[in-house]
Amino acid sequence: MTIFKKKKIDKKQLKAFQGLLEKEKKELEDKIADLNLKEKDMAIKMPDFTASEDSSIEADEIEELNNLLSLKLVWEGDLARINDALERIKAGTYGICEECGELIEEARLRIEPAAQTCTKCVKKKNTASA
Ligand SMILES: [Zn+2]
């Protein structure tokens, strides 16, 4: 009979990934704060820009604001995933695939410390949605 050891990521590695995540989190928070300032600036410059027919508002300014907003959405999503990963470090479940319960490959975590699934499951998902 095989006894399955509870899978867990190495403590030293965990510390390293925690450091990475915290650094990324800080950077994202700074970037989002920056974006918020810009957004405020632009909103002052063109109030109700979507409803306005004012031709003095440049189309590329509207586009810039739209880009800004979609970028913010992406970053906020990243930040949420990082916070989630930090929670999992606290809970002791970090590095475990949410789909199959196996350990996520270390190489994958190095590239994407907030990863929630292992490479196999990502591939499965990608082929399923393609
Ligand atoms: Zn998996």
Q: What is the DSSP secondary-structure string of 29-71?
A: HHHHHHHHHHHHHHHHHSTTTTT---TTS-HHHHHHHHHHHHH
State the distance from the centre of ligand 1 to the C-alpha of 93, rounded, in angstroms: 14
> Closest by alpha carbon to 9, among 87, 82, 128, 109?
109
The pLDDT of residue 20 is: 95
- C-alpha to C-alpha distances, 97 to 44, 46, 54, 71, nearest whole angstrom: 45, 46, 52, 27
State the distance from the centre of ligand 1 to the C-alpha of 86, rounded, in angstroms: 19
Tens digits of residue pLDDT in 60-80: 888 888 999 999 999 999 999
37 found inside a domain: yes
The pLDDT of residue 61 is: 83
State the distance from the centre of ligand 1 to the C-alpha of 103, rounded, in angstroms: 8
Task: Give me the amino acid identity at 47.
Answer: P
Put simply, whether the predicted model's pTM sits higher than 0.85 gets the answer no
6 found inside a domain: no
Q: What are phi and psi of 45, to 5 degrees?
A: -70, -35
| Residue 68 · residue 39 · CB < 8 Å | yes
43 found inside a domain: yes
State the distance from the centre of ligand 1 to the C-alpha of 84, rounded, in angstroms: 17
Residue whose structure tokens are 């490959």: 105
> Domain tally for the chain?
1
48 found inside a domain: yes
State the distance from the centre of ligand 1 to the C-alpha of 101, rounded, in angstroms: 6
101 found inside a domain: no
Q: What are phi and psi of 51, to 5 degrees?
A: -85, -20
The pLDDT of residue 25 is: 98
The pLDDT of residue 59 is: 80
State the distance from the centre of ligand 1 to the C-alpha of 116, rounded, in angstroms: 9
Tens digits of residue pLDDT in 84-95: 999 999 999 999
C-alpha dihedral (80, 81, 84, 88), degrees to nearest 10: -170
* Percentage of the chain modeled with pLDDT above 70: 85
The pLDDT of residue 128 is: 79
Intervals of the chain under pLDDT 70: 1-6, 46-57, 129-130
The pLDDT of residue 8 is: 80
SS3 96: strand
The pLDDT of residue 60 is: 84
102 found inside a domain: no
**Could you list the residue range(s) of the whole structural domain that residue 74 is in?**
11-94
117 found inside a domain: no
114 found inside a domain: no
